[in-house]
A and B are shown apart, each in its own frame.
Chain A
């Protein structure tokens, strides 16, 4: 009976023992038990064999030789609360209005710095969009605003 209780206590610890993840006292207890329990020793051996088999898996590489490229320009702000969310949305709307006004203004002289910037990729009026996205999948925070920019067409 005493020995059976030991097995029930030791069995769940076998993987951690074999991975050298047990503290000194627990590790010693498991080692002592294994020295006189053939059942648990067989369990430990089979887990050890399975570990070796998994470790022997050859590395699988991707079919393509070149690394993937990044073509999605999306920036997420951390969760800032409703007030700042509304402020951010207001800024985005105002920015779009300014950009629209600049792009549609009759050009009689040299373009201003703002107009030059408006023609650049980052301020492409046709591609700018602002939207409130769903929850942050990594930490649970709520992104306030996501601004997407078109890639080169």
Chain B
């Protein structure tokens, strides 16, 4: 009886593994781009991607195959990214005037992480913008990346970030203003 139980478990996991590996193969390039835009660093992007896929496989039984795999994957990546950012203690409060005027705290990444990859940035042609993304609050950065780089609608972003559309709207707007303020301060903004 116990052998049957374990055989059944092994069989179901083996059944799921080829499907997961196929989905992983189809998604990893696009997912890497998102991971890089969130972390600004190739090593951290790989770490983020690895942890995301690991969690995705562990909880693959929760995935509804009728829904887009990327949306579910980005939901996990978002959680992992924000968790990683908090655990590393890379956030501190600063007073961006725009954020302070609205009564909310704003954040700037502590500069204790590896620098943004200069070799990669030569090809991006927009180092100030990537540095600006790096300096943003993790939640704001995620919302802006999902909206302006991934091109997702607010309801999709709300699903991924597990929050309301109103919160998504606020994070995107405040995130863009935070990014614009950084670019204006560091000479990377062209009006």
Which A residues form the contact surface with B (CB < 8 A)?
12, 14-16, 19, 21, 46-47, 49-51, 53-63, 67-70, 72-76, 78, 91, 94-95, 98, 114, 117-118, 122-123, 136-139, 147, 149
Contacts and interface: CB of A to CB of B under 8 A. Distances in A.
B55 A75 contact: no
B67 interface: no
A74 B54 CA distance: 9
Contact of B6 (A53, A68, A69, A123): A123
Interface of B: 2-3, 5-7, 9-10, 13, 17, 20-21, 24-25, 28-30, 32-33, 36-37, 42, 45-46, 49-50, 53-55, 57-59, 61-62, 75-76, 79-80, 83, 120, 123-126, 129, 144, 147-149, 151, 153-154, 165, 169-170, 172-173, 176, 179-180, 183, 190-191
Given A21-B169, A46-B191, A60-B33, A138 B62 contact: yes
Contact of A58 (B20, B53, B76, B124): B124
Contact of A74 (B3, B57, B176): B57
Contacts of A147: 9
Most-contacted residue by chain B among A47, A54, A91 (CB, 10 A): A54
Most-contacted residue by chain B among A57, A117, A122 (CB, 10 A): A57
Nearest to A14: B173
A11 to B, nearest CB: 9
Nearest to B30: A59
The 4 closest A-B pairs by CB, nearest first: A54-B148, A122-B10, A15-B173, A67-B25
Contacts of B49: 62, 68
A50 B179 contact: yes
Nearest to A59: B33
Contact of A19 (B7, B61, B124, B147): B147
Nearest to B123: A58
Given A16-B154, A69-B21, A73-B13, A57 B124 contact: yes
Given A54-B129, A117-B7, A122-B7, A21 B153 contact: yes
Contacts of A54: 129, 144, 148-149
A98 B13 contact: no
A61 B180 CA distance: 26
Contacts of B173: 12, 14-16
A95 to B, nearest CB: 4
A19 B53 CA distance: 30
Contact of A68 (B30, B53, B149, B191): B53
A57 B123 CA distance: 10
Contact of B32 (A58, A61, A122, A136): A61
